[in-house]
């Protein structure tokens, strides 16, 4: 009979195995030294546990192109074996549904998108997403039993207590719906739901401009304006799940009435919708934000002025964010993020003018690098980074794994 001490050691070893797997799931690729640093385990313990995980078919070595830091052999990094599982990301927009499948090493295996009616009901969107998931899994050659979970993004507030979609002018057909429960019933796998700005932040943390940055603020500039807060390398949601909601900050008390009912919100003067509405009399009713950005890059003075005014309003709000949060970076994403220097230069000027010097001097304001894929990648990252660990078993039994 095994002694109590031996049982405790076995439990500790299993716990440490899970810690390594969780870190690899979050990072995608990591060296043994980085795993030791992040878990606090000794290098010898990490090496021993990695050997076990390799024997079980859960972890593989990947040789990366290029020389090592001192010009020696290319670094050998670890990742989870593809057959250890897969993650789904679902992104619901006003006019589209997008689905990706990733393996646990963060590689995208399939990426599909389809248009949907702008006034679609929630049931229609959910059914269409479930069909797209089936297609994506076939394209990725992944069995449904290998999927450990799905992340789902919506461009609207999610009540952290009830799980219901709150008031939304972007997806009015979803108000009062509990999307996590509904999608989980359709897919028969664990689902987590998050607003799109938080997912943009999570994607940039995992794959983009926020990598290796512990504290940053992500702002999504689209038909709505939202923000995501990353603190100590983790997404911070706040008590009610609306941390970073800067779109309804007051910038002009005599400004236009916002969809939220207040007057002069940032979103009412700096969203892509507000920008396009200002320029349509000169450029036609079919004008899009992509065309506005193209006009601005081509030197159109009106387009440059309107984008610059939006940037200056945003800069005042972000200066307050910098004073309160003191982030290392502000990452600018969303449709308007593609405007580049036309947007970022006046934005940086306003932050430098209105933030206190210690905060303004340390923050780096950079464009997001993931473009329109940010939200759907962030939805997959919900699974890769935040879902509780899955049961460990040999790779041949991957289809039997479940969230525990």
Per-residue CA distances from 207 to 76, 106, 108, 112 (Å): 20, 9, 11, 19
Q: How far apart are the first and last CA of the chain?
A: 28
DSSP 263: B
Residues 280 and 240 in one domain: yes
- The H helix count followed by the E strand count for the chain is 13, 12
Burial class (CB in 10 A: 0-12, 13-18, 19+), 191: buried
Q: Are strands 147-154 and 108-115 parallel, antiparallel or unpaired?
A: unpaired
Q: What is residue 4's predicted lDDT score, i.e. its pLDDT?
A: 52
What is the DSSP annotation of 55-66?
HTTSEEEEEPSS
What band does 398 get if pLDDT is binned at 50, 70 and 90?
very low
> What average pLDDT is seen over the chain?
86
DSSP 384: I
Distance CA 226, CA 347 (A): 16
Of 1-10, 68-77, 130-139, the one with minimum mean pLDDT is: 1-10
pLDDT digits (tens, 9 = 90+) for 238-277: 887 789 999 999 999 888 888 888 899 999 999 999 999 9
Q: What is residue 166's predicted lDDT score, i.e. its pLDDT?
A: 67
Domain that holds residue 25: 4-80
- Do 210 and 230 meet the contact criterion of CB atoms below 8 Å apart? yes
Within a domain: residue 340? Answer: yes
What band does 397 get if pLDDT is binned at 50, 70 and 90?
very low
Per-residue CA distances from 176 to 124, 165, 166 (Å): 15, 5, 6
Q: What is the CATH number of the domain that holds 69?
A: 1.10.10.10
Distance CA 15, CA 41 (A): 12
Within a domain: residue 219? Answer: yes
Per-residue CA distances from 340 to 203, 337, 343, 401 (Å): 19, 6, 6, 44
Q: What is the CATH number of the domain that holds 352?
A: 3.30.420.40
Residues 68 and 158 in one domain: no
In total, how many domains does the chain have? 3
Residues 167 and 103 in one domain: yes
Residues 144 and 282 in one domain: no
Burial class (CB in 10 A: 0-12, 13-18, 19+), 66: exposed
Residues 101 and 230 in one domain: no
Residues 190 and 106 in one domain: yes
Residues 190 and 238 in one domain: no
- Domain boundary pick from 20, 45, 80: 80
DSSP 106: S
Residues 259 and 356 in one domain: yes
- Domain boundary pick from 60, 80, 100: 80
Helix (H) or strand (E) holding 225: strand 225-231
Q: What is residue 191's predicted lDDT score, i.e. its pLDDT?
A: 92
Within a domain: residue 337? Answer: yes
Residues 18 and 159 in one domain: no
DSSP 30: B
Q: What is residue 71's predicted lDDT score, i.e. its pLDDT?
A: 53
Within a domain: residue 205? Answer: no
pTM for the whole thing? 0.82
- Do 94 and 170 meet the contact criterion of CB atoms below 8 Å apart? yes
Within a domain: residue 123? Answer: yes
Within a domain: residue 214? Answer: yes
Distance CA 404, CA 402 (A): 6
Find the DSSP H helices in 28-144.
32-39, 43-55, 122-140
Q: What is the mean pLDDT of residues 152-166?
A: 76
- Domain boundary pick from 58, 80, 102: 80
What band does 66 get if pLDDT is binned at 50, 70 and 90?
low
Within a domain: residue 216? Answer: yes
Express as a percent the part of the chain with pLDDT over 90.
Answer: 54
Residues 147 and 22 in one domain: no
How many C-beta atoms lie closer than 10 Å to residue 264's C-beta? 18
Residues 164 and 218 in one domain: no
Higher pLDDT, 400 or 172: 172
pLDDT digits (tens, 9 = 90+) for 330-347: 999 999 999 999 999 999
* Sheet of 191-195, strand order: 108-115, 96-103, 86-92, 147-154, 191-195
DSSP 386: I
Burial 208-246 (b: 16+ CB within 10 A, else e): bbbeebebbbbbbbbbbbbbbbbeeeebebeeebbbbbb
- Do 269 and 222 meet the contact criterion of CB atoms below 8 Å apart? no
On the question of pLDDT at 387 being above 50, the answer is no
Per-residue CA distances from 231 to 188, 223, 265 (Å): 32, 26, 26
Residues 346 and 286 in one domain: yes
On the question of pLDDT at 172 being above 90, the answer is no
Q: What is residue 76's predicted lDDT score, i.e. its pLDDT?
A: 82
Q: What is residue 16's predicted lDDT score, i.e. its pLDDT?
A: 87
Residue 300 is encoded by which pair of tokens?
């159109």
């Amino acid at each position: 009979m095994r002694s109590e001490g031996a049982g405790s050691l076995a439990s500790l070893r299993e716990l440490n195995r899970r810690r390594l797997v969780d870190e690899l799931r979050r990072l995608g690729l990591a060296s043994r030294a980085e795993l030791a640093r992040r878990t606090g385990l000794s290098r010898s313990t990490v090496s021993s546990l990695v050997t076990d995980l390799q024997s079980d078919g859960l972890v593989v070595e990947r040789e990366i192109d290029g020389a090592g830091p001192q010009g020696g052999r290319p670094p050998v990094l670890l990742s989870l074996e593809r057959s250890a599982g897969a993650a789904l990301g679902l992104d619901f927009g006003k006019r589209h549904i997008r689905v990706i499948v990733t393996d646990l090493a963060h590689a995208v295996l399939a990426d599909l998108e389809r248009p949907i009616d702008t006034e679609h009901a929630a049931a229609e969107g959910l059914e269409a997403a479930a069909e797209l998931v089936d297609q994506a899994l076939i394209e990725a050659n992944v069995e449904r039993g290998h999927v450990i979970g799905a992340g789902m993004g919506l461009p609207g507030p999610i009540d952290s207590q009830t799980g219901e979609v709150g008031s939304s002018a972007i997806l009015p057909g979803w108000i009062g719906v509990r999307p996590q429960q509904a999608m989980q019933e359709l897919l028969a796998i664990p689902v987590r739901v998050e607003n799109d700005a938080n997912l943009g932040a999570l994607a940039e943390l995992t794959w983009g401009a926020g990598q290796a940055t512990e504290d940053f603020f992500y702002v999504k500039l689209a038909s709505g304006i939202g923000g995501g807060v990353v603190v100590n390398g983790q997404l911070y949601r706040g008590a009610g799940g609306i941390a970073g909601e800067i779109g309804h900050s007051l910038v002009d008390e005599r400004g236009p009435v916002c969809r939220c009912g207040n007057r002069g919100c940032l979103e009412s003067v700096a969203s892509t919708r507000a920008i396009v509405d200002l320029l349509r009399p000169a450029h036609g009713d079919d004008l899009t934000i992509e065309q506005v950005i193209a006009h601005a890059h081509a030197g159109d003075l009106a387009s440059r002025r309107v984008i610059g005014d939006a940037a200056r309003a945003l800069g005042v709000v972000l200066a307050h964010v910098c004073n309160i949060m003191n982030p290392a970076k502000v990452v600018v994403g969303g449709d308007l993020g593609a405007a580049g220097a036309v947007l970022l230069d006046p934005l940086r000027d306003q932050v430098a003018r209105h933030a206190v010097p210690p905060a303004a001097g340390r923050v780096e304001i950079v464009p997001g690098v993931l473009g329109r894929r940010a939200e759907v990648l962030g939805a997959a990252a919900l699974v890769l980074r935040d879902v509780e660990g899955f049961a460990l078993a040999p790779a041949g039994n991957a289809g039997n794994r479940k969230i525990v």
